[in-house]
Amino acid sequence: MGKVLMKGNEAIAEAAIRAGCLNYFAYPITPQSEVAEYLSKRLVEAGGVFLQGESEVAVSYMIFGAAACGARVFTTSSSPGISLMSEGISYITAAECPAVFVNIMRGGPGLGGILPSQADYFQSVKGGGHGDYRLLVLAPASVQEAVEMVMAAFPLAEKYRNPVMILGDGLIGQMMEPVEFPEHLKVAASNKDEWATNGMATRQSSRRNLVKTLYLVPEELNAHNLKLKAKYDRMKREELRSESYNLQSDYRILIVSYGTMSRVCRTVIDSFKEQGIEIGMVRPQTLFPFPRQAIHAAVSKASCRAAVSIEMSMGQLVEDVELSVRGARPVHWYGKCGGEVPTPEEVMEEIGKLL
């Protein structure tokens, strides 16, 4: 199949179907409602399940119930909706069920606005709900990458029995770009009969399965949390992904940026290069786990004087950049979070102050 021109939200919807996910529950919210609109038709054609829930809270538990009986399932929402789903996300991680959540971020806090933002960074990578849990967070920078990450998210969710979050800013959902859908991804054999509440008769078993999150005995809860931590540590070993740009040069400043913002930064780097000024960039593709070593290695290059986090949020990504740089160089921040994507000129001006 060749390339087709698609809106990000519709491409995300189609990618889930191509990944073999035929179960979708959602509640409408701008700027990602096209996913539900697309799937309300497409899933009927494909013989899948489409249900518009009564709230994002309810949707997160529809996802939980379906995932807990071993079904491949996903939902999409935007910032305020993800806040409401965060209760359910905490339970799903605790119960170790695989599911995929897509957050097409808009500006906050509160109702905020409906234009692109990256202000849910902390919510996604530090835990929006209660308790010690982590999501595997993938951050696409193009519609094509959103498609690939959605398709990769389902096997990853099943590998870890943990929700995977696709974190895209509003532009990823709203812009149209040419996309090509990869062939079906290879999926490991499912072990769901060992844990899923899919009915004892389904698995020819006399042993019942139980999906729960309550551990009243402190030692048991601690052991459960250690088990979860071991999974998050494994993600750090096996799932780290980042992309570097212009790191072969003797760059003076290292940019760390993700999503749509990183594409603006590429333009910035190219423009500086024309002026004979070298700037490098590390773009995290996984936000959890965070590519700390890649950033530390890049910022430690002799030519590099400082790092700067360029983000559509008010100083969130920069905290993880600081933890990565570990004091090796000064770390700066530039960002906007009202729905405007900083222009290349604005970013160049800020970086110019550091040169």
Which of 18, 28, 30, 53 is in the footprint of another protein by CB under 8 A? 53
CB 70 → another protein: shortest distance, Å?
Answer: 8
CB 199 → another protein: shortest distance, Å?
Answer: 4
CB 148 → another protein: shortest distance, Å?
Answer: 25
Closest CB to another protein among residues 30, 198: 198
Closest CB to another protein among residues 59, 348: 59
> Over the Cα atoms of the chain, what is R_g?
21
Within 282-311, which residues bind another protein (CB under 8 A)? none
* Contact between 45 and another protein per CB under 8 A: no
Q: Which stretch binds another protein (CB under 8 A): 37-45, 64-72, 295-303, 312-320?
A: 64-72
Residue by residue, DSSP assigns 90-159 as HHHHHHT---EEEEEEB--STT--SSB--TTHHIIIIISSSSS---EEE--SSHHHHHHHHHHHHHHHHH
Are 314 and 300 in contact by the 8 Å Cβ rule? The answer is no
Closest CB to another protein among residues 209, 242: 209
Closest CB to another protein among residues 76, 174: 76
Closest CB to another protein among residues 25, 334: 25
C-alpha closest to that of 258 among 290, 233, 235, 234: 290
Q: State how far the Cα of 31 lies from the Cα of 89, in Å rounded to an integer.
A: 21
Cis status, amide bond into 342, omega within 30 of 0: no
Q: State how far the Cα of 8 lies from the Cα of 160, in Å rounded to an integer.
A: 26
* Contact between 30 and another protein per CB under 8 A: no
Q: Which stretch binds another protein (CB under 8 A): 51-59, 236-244, 305-313, 333-341?
A: 51-59
* Contact between 64 and another protein per CB under 8 A: yes
Q: Which stretch binds another protein (CB under 8 A): 62-70, 113-121, 166-174, 339-347?
A: 62-70
CB 129 → another protein: shortest distance, Å?
Answer: 10
Closest CB to another protein among residues 198, 267: 198
* Contact between 65 and another protein per CB under 8 A: yes
Closest CB to another protein among residues 60, 316: 60
Which uninterrupted H or E stretch holds 271? helix 259-274
Closest CB to another protein among residues 3, 130: 130
Count interface residues toward another protein (CB under 8 A).
39
Residue 279's DSSP bridge partners are 253
Question: Nearest 5°: CA angle at 151, between 190 and 259?
Answer: 135
Within 75-94, which residues bind another protein (CB under 8 A)? 87-88, 91
C-alpha closest to that of 226 among 346, 296, 133, 291: 133
Interacting residues of 112 by C-beta distance below 8 A, sequence separation 6+ = 79, 80, 106, 119
* Contact between 221 and another protein per CB under 8 A: no
Are 242 and 284 in contact by the 8 Å Cβ rule? The answer is yes
Q: Which stretch binds another protein (CB under 8 A): 136-144, 149-157, 198-206, 315-323?
A: 198-206
Q: State how far the Cα of 145 lies from the Cα of 286, in Å rounded to an integer.
A: 12
Residues 226, 83, 173, 266: is their CA dihedral positive or negative? negative
Q: State how far the Cα of 172 lies from the Cα of 76, in Å rounded to an integer.
A: 13
List contacts with another protein (CB under 8 A): 23, 25, 49, 51, 53-55, 57-69, 71, 73, 87-88, 91, 95, 197-202, 208-214
